[in-house]
Homo-oligomer: A and B are copies of this chain.
Amino acid sequence: MSKPLSQYSVENLQTLEAELAREYSHVGGNRLSLDLSRGKPGADQLDLSNGLDAVIDGNYFAEDGTDVRNYGNLRGITEARQLGADILKVPAANVIAGGNSSLSLMHFVVSTALHPGLWGDHRAWRNSPTVKVLTPVPGYDRHFALTAALGIEMVNVDMTPQGPDLEQIQALVTEDPSIKGIWCVPKYSNPTGCIYSQGVVEGIAGLSNLAAADDFVVLWDNAYAVHDLYFPAESLASVFLSAQEQNTADHVVQFGSTSKITFAGGGIGFIAASELVLAQLEKQLGLMTIGSDKVNQLRHARFLNGRLEEHMQAQATLLRPKFELVLKYLQSELAELDIASWTSPKGGYFVSLDLQPGLAQQVIAMAKAVGLTLTHAGATFPHGEDPRDNNIRIAPTFADLEELEVAMQVLTLCVKLASVRNRLNGT
């Protein structure tokens, strides 16, 4: 049966449907409980950072003498800012080291952009009757949820293998002054895993020069900056340098995090921006906290500074087989039938699987019914609405290899069965 499904006769389709249905029914008897829904590190990855708890060892003083146990220091301690700088590849002076959640920092920056603004002047998004942000799709559900919750409209733009479609973006920001920003996950994008090309990075860095809005902000969530699966690591062009060259540094805010470097729930997050923007953010931050957890900042700086790549190589050693297993199953089960396409990321946390239009919800429900939880249908689109209902985000990191193998068997089985039935309905 080594041919595209589209070339199957009805009879062959019926035979295949019966065979796959039997197999599916058999799987249903196995009482599986598998989960590929969220980008959570596996326990073996977390174990790599258990040394975090030993590095304080009674010495609570930062390099500059700061007692990290006490209050204060809104920008974070120097060595933690240096860690953020090493991850985001920007100068430490442009970094705020924060608490355990970069998502909170993003919520904070977008809230501040809305009111009172990022620049200490009259410019604030809330002054516009309508506020819109560009959302490359498929993308990260939590970006969409926080944006919607803050009353901001989302305008989808298409992802390409080189990043979001720059021409589409440039046309939109040029003509619509209510478009105030764009969400970007520039390296190993969630979920496609692509790396923005140099041209796309430069184009996005320069958007505020083209934008009809004078308060345009690039929200650059570099969540997977050092999360490479293969070394030497893939490189990403510097949005920081490009923005400096184009005089747009006040319109680019970067985010980073150690959540998928050390402990997912107990890491530290980072903001990188121009001094003008950092000063405004610091002022606002001072209204809601006396400072982030500097003890944890010190732990992370001592644990990672100087050995970040070595640590990420150890992570890659654990993750590479999982990604390769996912790709192996997609290739062996779906390629010849020509019923899906997928990405082959060299890092990050996800593989993006595109089915035939209209099948994603169905496949996710079929998988759920036999004990495999997938990211819910539409999650990679604003408001959970995938217009083609065809995208599934595969998150292979949390399951162990044995579970992952079963999960991929179930997933590809469901894709095949749904595709065959879809074809039969269409004939």
Contacts and interface: CB of A to CB of B under 8 A. Distances in A.
B67 A295 contact: no
Interface stretch (A48-56, A214-222, A227-235): A48-56
A242 B103 CA distance: 37
A49 B259 CA distance: 26
A27 interface: no
A254 interface: no
Contacts of A352: none
B145 A287 contact: yes
A73 B286 CA distance: 26
Interface stretch (A2-10, A36-44, A301-309, A382-390): A36-44
B287 A149 contact: yes
A176 B296 CA distance: 46
B265 A72 contact: yes
Contact residues on A (Cβ < 8 Å of other chain), bracket: 35 or more
Interface in A295-349: 295-296
Contacts of A73: 265
A289 interface: yes
A46 interface: yes
User: Which one of A71, A72, A296 has the highest number of Cβ atoms from chain B below 10 Å of its Cβ?
Assistant: A71
Number of copies: 2
Contacts of A49: 69
Interface string A393-422: 000000000000000000000000000000
Interface in A253-304: 259, 263-266, 284, 286-296
Interface in A133-184: 142, 145-146, 149
A300 B286 CA distance: 25
Contacts of A198: none
Contact of A295 (B43, B263, B291): B263
A212 to B, nearest CB: 28
Nearest to A42: B70
B67 A107 contact: no
Interface in A31-90: 38, 40-41, 43, 46, 49-50, 53, 56-58, 60, 67-73
A99 interface: yes
Contacts of A60: 46, 50
A46 B58 contact: no
A53 B50 contact: no
A60 B72 CA distance: 28
Contacts of A296: 266, 293, 296
A263 B46 contact: no
A69 B263 contact: yes
A351 to B, nearest CB: 19
Nearest to A288: B107
Contact of A67 (B43, B146, B289, B290): B43
A47 to B, nearest CB: 9
B70 A264 contact: yes
A104 interface: yes
Given A99-B100, A293-B99, A69 B287 contact: no
B288 A266 contact: no
Contacts of A356: none
Nearest to A106: B288
29 contacts: A38-B71, A40-B71, A49-B69, A50-B60, A53-B53, A53-B57, A70-B265, A71-B259, A71-B264, A99-B99, A99-B100, A99-B101, A100-B293, A101-B290, A101-B291, A103-B289, A103-B290, A104-B289, A142-B287, A145-B286, A145-B287, A264-B290, A265-B290, A265-B292, A265-B295, A266-B293, A266-B295, A293-B293, A293-B296
Given A49-B69, A149-B287, 19 more contacts: A40-B71, A43-B67, A43-B70, A46-B67, A46-B69, A53-B56, A69-B264, A71-B264, A73-B265, A99-B101, A100-B289, A101-B289, A101-B291, A101-B292, A142-B290, A146-B287, A263-B295, A265-B293, A265-B294
Please give me the 5 A-B residue pairs with the lowest Cβ-Cβ distance, nearest first.
Answer: A266-B295, A107-B288, A69-B263, A101-B289, A100-B293
